[in-house]
Structure 1
Amino acid sequence: MVFGKGTPLLAGAVIVACVVLVGPSAPGDDRIGRSLPAHAAKDVVPNRVMTWNLCNPCETSNVDRAAEIATYAPQVIGLQEACARDVERIRDHLQSLYGLVYHVEYGSVLRNWGRCGGVPWSPGAYGQAVLSAAPMTDRVNVEYPDGGSEDRGYMAVTTVVGGRSVRVFNTHLAERRQEAVRAEQTGVLAAEVARHDRAIVLGDFNAVPDAPELTPMWALAADVDPQCHPAPADTCETTTDWRSKFDYVFLRGITALNHRVQPTSYSDHDMLRTDLAGT
């Protein structure tokens, strides 16, 4: 086959077009699964919930993210800093590589090409997501009136955990050193949580346990770590690479049987999981 002089220019244009259309992608994000450790769950654990800030932008494969989730196979997991396209791939990998079937609902609060790729006139959706082995209903997605340096919000769904219906919230509060903004956001979230006798609140609150802005949440619910209280906060296990506890699973009207902070090399936040008391 003979190519003309314009072939290199044409090939370059095709490559550029593909990059623009697909957007940033993590290396090694293919269908070759990572082997799970011997202690991995064999199927979805019916009463297990988990929260995980994925870290974005980070050069992490969605195959590796799926393997981390599959190791513990929670009934429900709340993800923060999540691109809708990444969540779709994670869900696909969980099913095709590990046989774990999840429903997904999104709580995107902005569209950002730098974080989530896409085309310039239609960048990828970014925010929160909930994956649940049981169907979800009554989804709401609320953007906080003031997001701080970046739009932030919460989402909520109704699903089944441990055989009982429960309202599940997932949030990501304003970045560090924006205490006043987080205080307003927590007030908005707490007012909605208070409407439910049984609720699970997942998320990255960007605040340590004794931060004043978390007071409304502590008044409504308990963290899954029984040693973790607003004071003394130094009894709480840390959940981030900088040795702070920012990630919470707050329970209202529900009791935790145990909890684990699961270190991971695929994010600057560890995974926080808990098994809940049955029906």
Structure 2
Amino acid sequence: MHTAGTAGRSRGEGARVFRKGTRVLAGTMFAVFMLLVGPSAPSGALFVRSLPVDAVGEIVPNRVMTWNICNPCDVSNIDRAADIATYAPQVIGLQEACVRDVERIRNYLRSFYGLDYHVRYGTVLQDWGRCGGVPWNPGGFGQAVLSAAPMKDPVVVEYPDGGSEDRGYLAVTTTVGGRSVRVFNTHLAQRQQESFRAAQVGVLAEAVARHDRAIVLGDFNAVPDAPELGPLWELAEDTDSECRPEPTGPCEPTTDWHSKFDYVFLRGFAAREHRVQPTPYSDHHMLHTDVEPK
């Protein structure tokens, strides 16, 4: 027969076992969660970052941006969203984008910074290693376009040969500066794969040529005088007037390795001003430009 003290100790030990079991269960569930969300999940606690005093505060209707957000990288999507919110473009083209990351960035832009965007995805491969998920349902990887105005007629094209990794472009029709425009967002083959990029530019340029007004965003993995970019230079101009196949001045780099790889090609629009903004959250800088119709 248990005494009252013995019974109390038994209940206390039972409570401790219950609490320990609860902690073990919680730890197990957290481990499963981290396995499912994968390496694209932001690390650390969720802190809303304050914007700088010169942040624009609201969407700029004639501003477009391109940004390779770097993947896989151990970067918080809160920080990515804060960088975008600082300049608040009408249209943003993201490369190396996991669908889950873009969903979080979009939600943070709306919830924390009051910026509401529509989204379209240009997934070219399903990649568990880059984007998390589970082996039978990996995350989508490729391009994404965020637009303050609705988008229509989306087209996702995978290039016939991506090189060492599948590559393609996403095209949508939306509004920039009060005008309807076809927006393309692409990511070409890696740096040492010129012949693949040449074939990809041929496919892209053929689609761009069908439109009198087009904006082509992306990471082209090529400097301005690279021969493979020739077909695009015949159709459009980059937002940086000094970056040409024959430069007219110093061409501002857009990567941490001091190369110009990122472009905003304009067809039927002229650039009013542009800015290349380095960021600690990617090996590519943000490039944004304010445009006006020709």
- Give the TM-score normalised by the residue count of structure 1: 0.95
Pick aligned residue for 2:175 from 160, 163, 172: 160
How many residue pairs end up in the alignment? Answer: 278
Partner SS state of residue 255, structure 1: strand
Question: Contact between 1:47 and 1:278, CA under 8 Å: does it hold in 2?
Answer: no
Q: What does residue 100 of structure 2 align with?
A: 85
Q: What does residue 3 of structure 1 align with?
A: 17
Pick aligned residue for 1:27 from 40, 43, 48: 43
TM alignment of 1:172-211, pairs within 5 A:
172-211=187-226
Q: Deviations over 1:136-177 (max 9, x none)?
A: 000000000000000000000000000010000000000110
Question: Contact between 1:259 and 1:273, CA under 8 Å: does it hold in 2?
Answer: yes
In structure 2, what is the Cα distance between the partners aligned to 1:255 and 1:62?
Answer: 32
Q: Post-superposition, which runs of at least 4 consecutive aligned residues in structure 1 deviate over 4 A?
A: 6-13
Pick aligned residue for 1:266 from 240, 264, 281: 281
In structure 2, what is the Cα distance between the partners aligned to 1:259 and 1:55?
Answer: 22
TM alignment of 1:44-123, pairs within 5 A:
44-123=59-138
Offset at residue 14 of structure 1 (A)? 3.6
Q: 1:127 to 1:61 in 2, by over 3 A?
A: same
Q: Deviations over 1:237-269 (max 9, x none)?
A: 100000000000000111110111011111000
Alignment-mate amino acid for residue 143 of structure 1: E
In structure 1, what is the Cα distance between the partners aligned to 2:177 and 2:232?
Answer: 23
Q: Deviations over 1:175-200 (max 9, x none)?
A: 11000000000000000000000000
In structure 1, what is the Cα distance between the partners aligned to 2:273 and 2:26?
Answer: 56
Structure 1 regions of 5+ residues with no counterpart?
A: none
In structure 1, what is the Cα distance between the partners aligned to 2:99 and 2:281?
Answer: 18
- Structure with bigger gyration radius: 2
Alignment-mate amino acid for residue 78 of structure 1: G
In structure 1, what is the Cα distance between the partners aligned to 2:182 and 2:26?
Answer: 52
Alignment-mate amino acid for residue 156 of structure 2: N
Partner SS state of residue 149, structure 1: coil
- Give the TM-score normalised by the residue count of structure 2: 0.90
Offset at residue 3 of structure 1 (A)? 2.6
Q: What does residue 146 of structure 1 align with?
A: 161
In structure 2, what is the Cα distance between the partners aligned to 1:210 and 1:233?
Answer: 12
- Percent identity over the alignment is 69
Offset at residue 224 of structure 1 (A)? 0.4
Q: What does residue 241 of structure 1 align with?
A: 256
In structure 1, what is the Cα distance between the partners aligned to 2:78 and 2:27?
Answer: 29
> Normalized per residue, which structure has more helix?
2
Q: Deviations over 1:55-107 (max 9, x none)?
A: 00011100000000000000000000000000000000001101000000000
Partner SS state of residue 28, structure 1: coil
Offset at residue 49 of structure 1 (A)? 0.3
Question: Contact between 1:254 and 1:277, CA under 8 Å: does it hold in 2?
Answer: yes
Alignment-mate amino acid for residue 239 of structure 2: V
Q: What does residue 238 of structure 2 align with?
A: 223
Q: 1:19 to 1:194 in 2, by over 3 A?
A: same
Asked if residue 39 in structure 1 is aligned to residue 54 in structure 2, the reply is yes
In structure 1, what is the Cα distance between the partners aligned to 2:256 and 2:262?
Answer: 12
In structure 2, what is the Cα distance between the partners aligned to 1:258 and 1:64?
Answer: 25
Root mean square deviation, CA, Å: 1.9
Q: What does residue 6 of structure 2 align with?
A: none
Offset at residue 11 of structure 1 (A)? 6.2
In structure 2, what is the Cα distance between the partners aligned to 1:191 and 1:156?
Answer: 13
In structure 2, what is the Cα distance between the partners aligned to 1:162 and 1:117?
Answer: 37
Q: 1:162 to 1:12 in 2, by over 3 A?
A: closer
In structure 1, what is the Cα distance between the partners aligned to 2:55 and 2:191?
Answer: 34
Structure 2 regions of 5+ residues with no counterpart?
A: 1-14
In structure 1, what is the Cα distance between the partners aligned to 2:216 and 2:115?
Answer: 23
Asked if residue 127 in structure 1 is aligned to residue 136 in structure 2, the reply is no
Partner SS state of residue 235, structure 1: coil
